[in-house]
Chains A and B, each alone.
Chain A
């Protein structure tokens, strides 16, 4: 079902987008919320859904055709992620694919592209993304994981945490210090692709409230040997290069939340149309209807911003960064309001697993904190969009 409630005319930016929505919805519709809940409850992985998305080419829509992808862009990937989540399957691994693939596409060597992109596109290879550290969250400059020169390669040591999906990964894209500090004394960063099973890597899972198939991990690197072919792009240029993935990550996080909001509001509207407590459906009461209508408007605004941010990224526009931040901000806030009001509309059933709403809460809530916090987006907008002094 390509939901008619959330008509896509408002948000779609290319003429094939309605067809893509319908097709993703068709493929994911064979699975749906119950399937996804079952996977999470069993502590399993949505292997069948992943394979179905791969078979239709949806995992690689944003990867160039020459590298085994669909030759589309983030605007297409946004639709894949949103439609998947809108059917009750918020697949966080899709967000990871929005970070790693564009970084490799834009900055990886030909060999690196050949090694990883076709596999990411066809679902047979996974690459995790490790940037956050215990003592360096939002402030990436404080990263201490270091790649020390070692022959014609490096020795990698340090600790990353909140690295998603390492248990499923074939490799990890690691942001690390390397090379000489810049003239102001700040450490330069570089990006490396590290085999997930390389000697010297150990992992520890971090139990989280998020009811997702992807787990969070602390990853320890202890003198992990890297060859010269592990480096992405130019040594010391990692901070600039990593933004090829960070803006898509924000758009993709927004897409998941937009999908969750749709699932919530569609469930709540259907319930409010049928449920009678006195002698009229509860949806006729403005106390129920207006908060849902208000939430719908905010979700449509967030979807519009997200689609526009994706299009700007595909165009290479310098405005993509601001738009991606604003999209993530809008989608996180609006989805939490929408999901909360949807739960409220269902009364006690809002908390029942049967209706599949309450257990979406922490997946949606995650994106108020990550991949960049609400507060840091406000800082960014205050400084860069409004020209206000930096406070930190």
Chain B
């Protein structure tokens, strides 16, 4: 079983992020790390291949400056190899262009299954997995909390507000995975050392058949016209307990659909 996992390398969320005032995009010219939301996809893929008893997990990533620190983490977790697409021409790519580029890198590998996180922790568009499926003309399942292989199909528990839906989908297909549904392993020492010699195939936009003017700023179908500060969080409501305050708490939790 061959599983490709899309992984994004992002600035460390523990460090304060900064926007480039000219492009109005996040500065990404530092050391990047594996997006935590993708570590769930990597873990799920590794578990599926373990359960299948054969096959391998490979990675696909698009990042500036041939950055591979985050890929190293996923390789140390157990992925076999990676394809890294890095090209100055790709700077400014919107989510659809990103999906096209990743799809081109995935297509060569003819995987049984493509796994991605539901959304990145720095961009949050939450659209790339489905766009990849669209570009590759593959069926797509979103918000997976568990995946099992059943012959040539997969069975997916798809998270919903009320619980989950049971979904069956033929392979090959694209599945986006909800964050927090598995516990990603921390790389072992042997995994960390082995990652050093695992192959990372570096590709440019041209290698994947894209003209420079079809990607990046030139090819983006959208434009960031303005960035505004998020509004300050409003002060909370203080309820003096007159013996009935619990009903307000119950009401509040019901409103949030927690109870």
Contacts and interface: CB of A to CB of B under 8 A. Distances in A.
Contact of B192 (A4, A20, A60): A20
B189 A76 contact: yes
Nearest to B190: A57
Contacts of A70: 189-190, 193
Interface in B93-115: none
A89 to B, nearest CB: 15
Given A16-B196, A19-B73, A19-B76, A26 B186 contact: yes
A58 interface: yes
A56 B190 CA distance: 8
Contacts of A57: 188-190
Interface string B215-245: 0000000000000000000000000000000
Contacts of B73: 19, 22
Nearest to A18: B69
A18 B186 CA distance: 13
Contacts of B14: 1, 4
Interface string B105-132: 0000000000000000000000000000
A58 B15 contact: no
A256 interface: no
A49 interface: no
Interface in B170-189: 186-189
B194 to A, nearest CB: 10
A201 interface: no
Contacts of B61: none
A20 B189 contact: yes
Chain B interface mostly helix, strand, loop or mixed?
helix
A306 to B, nearest CB: 19
A23 B15 contact: no
A56 B196 CA distance: 17
Contact of A23 (B12, B186, B196): B186
Contact of A72 (B76, B186, B189): B189
How big is chain B's contact interface, by range?
10 to 19
Q: Give the interface size bracket for A toward B.
A: 20 to 34
A375 B254 CA distance: 67
Nearest to A1: B14
A72 B193 contact: yes
A273 to B, nearest CB: 15
B193 A16 contact: yes
A71 interface: yes
A60 B69 CA distance: 24
B187 A19 contact: yes
A16 B186 contact: no
Contact of B72 (A19, A26, A71): A19
A57 B187 CA distance: 10
A76 B187 CA distance: 14
Contacts of B12: 4
A58 B186 CA distance: 11
Nearest to A26: B186
A138 to B, nearest CB: 35
Contacts of B76: 19, 23
Contacts of B15: 4
A27 interface: yes
A76 B190 CA distance: 12
Interface in B189-208: 189-190, 192-193, 195-196
A61 interface: yes
Nearest to A3: B14
Interface centre among A1, A18, A19 (most CB of B within 10 A): A19
A26 B12 CA distance: 15
Contacts of B186: 22-23, 26-27, 56
30 contacts: A1-B14, A4-B15, A15-B196, A16-B192, A16-B195, A18-B69, A19-B72, A19-B76, A19-B187, A19-B195, A20-B189, A22-B73, A22-B186, A23-B76, A23-B186, A23-B187, A23-B188, A26-B186, A56-B186, A56-B188, A56-B189, A57-B188, A57-B190, A58-B188, A58-B189, A61-B189, A70-B189, A70-B190, A71-B193, A72-B193
Q: What 7 A-B pairs are tightest by C-beta distance, nearest first?
A: A57-B189, A26-B186, A70-B189, A23-B186, A56-B188, A57-B188, A23-B187
Interface of A: 1, 4, 15-16, 18-20, 22-23, 26-27, 55-58, 60-61, 70-72, 76
Given A16-B195, A19-B72, A61-B189, 5 more contacts: A4-B14, A23-B186, A23-B187, A26-B186, A72-B189
